[in-house]
């Protein structure tokens, strides 16, 4: 069966999927990655562009002899997935763009990227990881999934935080959305503080073969806030 590859976002890691993909694993192989500078690869030198991260994931899959695969990208990982959809088109069977957008400046974000960079320098990596992680949940620090998510985010060092923010800020895939050929699911929580509705609508309106799933009462981490519904939506899409 065609495996599903999961690419995490900014300050994420492969461990973020723990407990939220159990049903998916019953039906197909699930391959998770830790991007350089994040998660289990926090000691590695971070990369400097979204395209470089896309190439890294593609080469990682080549080394594992992965042929055809479904691809899901979350947040910054969704930007990486858009690049991969164009660079590895023949191998990607379907695409899931989860809580992401086509431009890296993130208009309408809870704060500008410049402000995040300034505060990261002032506050340090750990405080930044915990503060930003809270914005990913509807109930912020009170959410049941927050502690696990924040612990993963705290692996990132200041160099990786700045590198990730810089990579997003200089990236845009808006003009190439029309070239994405894979059937695409756009998955979004309706209370997302990072990616606002106009960015989601742009993906839905422009990618030629796309469908939309809006999960009510969730912010940026649907997989942690409503894992059962997250798995049901993905399973239904992959079956189709």
Domain spans, the chain: 4-239
Q: What pLDDT was estimated at residue 240?
A: 83
pLDDT of residue 230: 97
- Nearest partner of 140 among 225, 52, 39, 15, judged by Cα: 225
Top CATH class of 4-239 equals alpha beta
Q: Is this prediction's pTM over 0.75? A: yes
Return the pLDDT at 103. 97
Chunk the chain into consecutive blocks of 10 residues (it has 240) and report each block's average pLDDT, rounded to whole numbers. Answer: 96 95 91 98 97 98 97 98 98 98 94 96 97 97 96 98 97 98 98 97 98 98 97 94
Q: What percent of the chain has pLDDT over 90?
A: 95
Alpha carbon of 93 to those of 68, 90, 162, 226, 238: distances in Å?
A: 6, 8, 33, 26, 10
Query: What pLDDT does 1 receive?
Result: 85
């Amino acid at each position: 069966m065609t495996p599903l590859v999961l690419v995490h976002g900014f300050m994420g890691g492969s461990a973020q999927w723990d407990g939220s993909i159990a049903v998916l694993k019953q039906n197909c192989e699930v391959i998770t990655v830790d991007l350089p500078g994040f998660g289990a690869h926090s000691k590695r030198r971070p990369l400097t562009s979204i395209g470089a991260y896309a190439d890294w994931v593609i080469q990682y899959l080549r080394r594992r002899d992965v042929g055809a695969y479904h691809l899901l990208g979350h947040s910054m990982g969704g930007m990486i997935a858009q690049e991969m959809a164009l660079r590895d088109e023949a191998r990607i069977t379907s695409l899931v763009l989860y809580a992401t957008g086509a431009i890296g400046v993130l208009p309408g974000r809870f704060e500008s990227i410049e402000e995040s960079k300034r505060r990261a320098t002032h506050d340090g990596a750990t405080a930044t990881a915990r503060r930003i992680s809270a914005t990913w949940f509807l109930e912020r620090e009170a959410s049941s999934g927050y502690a696990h998510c924040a612990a993963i985010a705290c692996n990132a060092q200041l160099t990786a935080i700045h590198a990730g923010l810089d990579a997003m800020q200089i990236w845009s895939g808006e003009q190439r959305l029309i070239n994405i050929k894979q059937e695409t699911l756009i998955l979004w929580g309706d209370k997302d503080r990072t990616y606002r509705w106009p960015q989601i609508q742009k993906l839905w309106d422009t990618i030629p073969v796309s469908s939309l799933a809006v999960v009510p009462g969730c912010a940026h981490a649907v997989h942690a806030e409503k894992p059962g519904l997250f798995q049901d939506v993905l399973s239904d899409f992959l079956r189709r």
